[in-house]
Structure 1
Amino acid sequence: MRNNGSDVLLTAIAPIVWGSTYIVTTQFLPDFSPISVAMLRALPAGLLLLLIVRQLPRGIWWLRTFVLGALNISIFLSMLFVAAYRLPGGVAGTVAAVQPLFAVFLARLLLSSPIRPLSIVAALVGIAGVALLVLTPRAALDPIGIAAGLAGAASMAVGNILTRKWQPPVSLLTFTAWQLTAGGVLLVPVVLAFAPHLPAPTAVNLAGLAWLGLIGAALTYVLWFRGIAKLDSSVVSPLLFISPLTAVILGWTFLGQTLSPIQLAGVGFVIGSIWLSQRPAR
């Protein structure tokens, strides 16, 4: 499959925006529970898109939509926000950086895709680069946060591969609306059971939720699923390395965090990993 540069760039917008999740969560939504933020990010965005497309799944796509909604939205976002609240943003991003490596082997298992040695090398270089970026001596390694980050990475890897395998019979906007709504609906009973008391939202909270829902979910998932449909999984997954890189840059820009020479070397590793992943198979 030949890679189109514009397709890659459009797909890369999603992890760039997702990299802002950590700073928005901690600075705009400090009093919300992770599961509540996950639901409030997915469900309103999904319902808004559903009102626009006005189309529901049919037949087997009801089941597939809820399976994909659980993997790509419910589980992934819940684990993402648990990691975001319990770990520094960069550390959470480092844990999530194993997703491209998961994707290489899952694509072989579920899609019979060949395992490209270059894809494995690119994934390992990317993980090393993200580690250099964020694993400073002051980094807090909370076990629950790390476990949540790994679970979220695995869930999204399986969801992305199944998305490519099943190829929805509708537009990307409709497909995104289905998944966000299904994922949000699945989170409602969990929120009612474990976090029923939401704080009264302030203007800052609403701004954070609007960014996470409208831009960080409705827009970015459309672009991400478009990339999955048009590009090989070995090309799409490494783009997730951009997310922790964005988190570190935002922390440096807005929170006064410093960038050491080792971290700058990590930037080079991440960029090199993404470049390697885009090399055509021979």
Structure 2
Amino acid sequence: MKQTAEIKHLFPMAAILTAVFLWGSSFSTMRMVLNVLDPMSAIFLRLFIASLCILPFTGKLFPRNYKRGDWKILGGMVLFQPCLYFTFESRALIYTTSSQAAIVSACLPLMVAVAAWIFLSEAINTKIIVGLVLSITGVVLLTLFQSRGAAAPNPVLGNSLELLAMVAACGYMILVKQLSSRYNTWTLTAMQVLGGTLFFLPGILPLLAADPAIWSSKLILLLLFLGPCVSLGAFGLYNYGIKTISVSKASICINLIPVTAILLGWIFLEETLNLKQGVAIGIVILGVGLSNHKSRN
């Protein structure tokens, strides 16, 4: 029985880790897209492409277990993620460096753990606390050990916007946990993608006035990755995983995003990875592993 329970735990955790991998790989991809497109236009396109992929299945995804009053929770979920989250984070990276933004984002698991304790009555045991502290410490060290980049034009504003993005992400995780027991994973994902597409619809205006020469095969491939794989696939996998794993444990995995981004940059883009960064990565992985480890009786 224990072995069966552990196997059932592995699938949702694998889904969350895959989502984290996709989100981590999207950082460099999104930066390349933002070199060509306005942030509003880039977000609209990735969500619009994801919407086209899920549109043929919307008939099967229509919520049949709708409970009166759920529109408030569903609307809040869509508002938090992707609407407010993408709005705040895309602007934050204009004013602050990615390293500083990563340090700010490390507070998300702590925010989620407290919110889950207050609103979902989730218990916070010693392993979760230690894993949380280790993962946050690792992310802070990882960003501090990075090589210096361009100066941030307004770090206070940028970091404040990133903090608001983390508040939105925290709200999203709490609401998804409440909804996941009644709604299909892909129903929630479809609502996020379609709702986000409508929210960022004004992003189509700069595209209408853009030079047709910007539509290179590279840009199209990047958008195809960000749409179906990241905006659709990662959301769906994370929503699936959070159905059975506590919000506190799932949120700690978010600290693997900067780890993924740096490792992929080292492997595929020949970016430097020093020994201190390697140690910091090990600390983050240790923290995530410890928080999700089940004790054997």
Instruction: Mark the structure with the bigger radius of gyration.
Output: 2
**Structure 1 residue aligned with 2:180:** 167
Q: Does the CA contact (< 8 Å) of 2:180 and 2:239 recur in 1?
A: no
Q: Pick from 86, 90, 103: which aligns with 2:112?
A: 103
The alpha-carbon deviation at position 106 of structure 1 amounts to 0.5
Does 2:34 correspond to 1:21? no
Deviation at 1:271, TM superposition (A): 0.8
State the shift of 1:184 in Å: 2.1
Task: Answer yes or no: is the 8 Å Cα contact 2:24–2:257 preserved in 1.
Answer: yes
Q: Does structure 2 retain, via aligned residues, the 8 Å contact 1:45–1:214? A: yes
Query: Is residue 197 of structure 2 the alignment partner of residue 184 of structure 1?
Result: yes
What value does the CA root-mean-square deviation take over the aligned residues?
A: 2.5
Superposed CA deviations along residues 195-218 of structure 1, whole A, max 9, x for unmatched, are x31344322221111111110011
The alpha carbon displacement at 1:276 in A equals 1.7
Superposition map of 1:110-259 within 5 A: 110-135=119-144, 136=146, 138-139=148-149, 140-141=151-152, 142-167=155-180, 169-189=182-202, 191=203, 196-198=205-207, 199=210, 200=212, 201-259=215-273
CA distance in 2: counterparts of 1:44 and 1:60, whole angstroms = 30
State the secondary structure of the residue aligned to 1:15: helix
Q: CA deviation at 1:234?
A: 1.9
Deviates more, 1:44-53 or 1:221-230: 44-53
Task: Select between 82-91 and 214-223 the one with higher mean Cα deviation.
Answer: 82-91
Corresponding residue for 2:47? 42
> Which range moved further: 81-90 or 97-106?
81-90
Describe the shift of the 1:10–1:238 C-alpha distance in structure 2 as closer, same or farther (beyond 3 A). Answer: same
Contact 1:14 1:220 in 2 (8 A): yes
Segments of structure 1 that go 5 or more residues without pairing to the other structure are none
Structure-1 separation of matches of 2:27 and 2:96: 9
How far 1:71 moved relative to its partner? 0.7
- The one-letter code of the counterpart of 1:111 is L
- What's the % identity of the aligned pairs? 25
1:81-125 deviations in Å (ceiling 9; x for gaps): 334455554443332222111100010121122233432332221
Structure 1 Cα separation of the partners of residues 33 and 48 of structure 2: 19
Describe the SS at the equivalent of 1:19: helix
Question: Which amino acid is 1:243 matched to?
Answer: I
Residue by residue over 1:149-200, the C-alpha shift from the partner in whole angstroms, topping out at 9 and shown as x without a partner, is: 22212111111111112336332122211121112212224x47xxx31344
Aligned to 2:36: 31
Cα separation, partners in 2 of 1:221 and 1:242, compared to 1, 3 Å: same
Paired residue total: 278
Runs of 5+ in structure 2 lacking a partner?
none
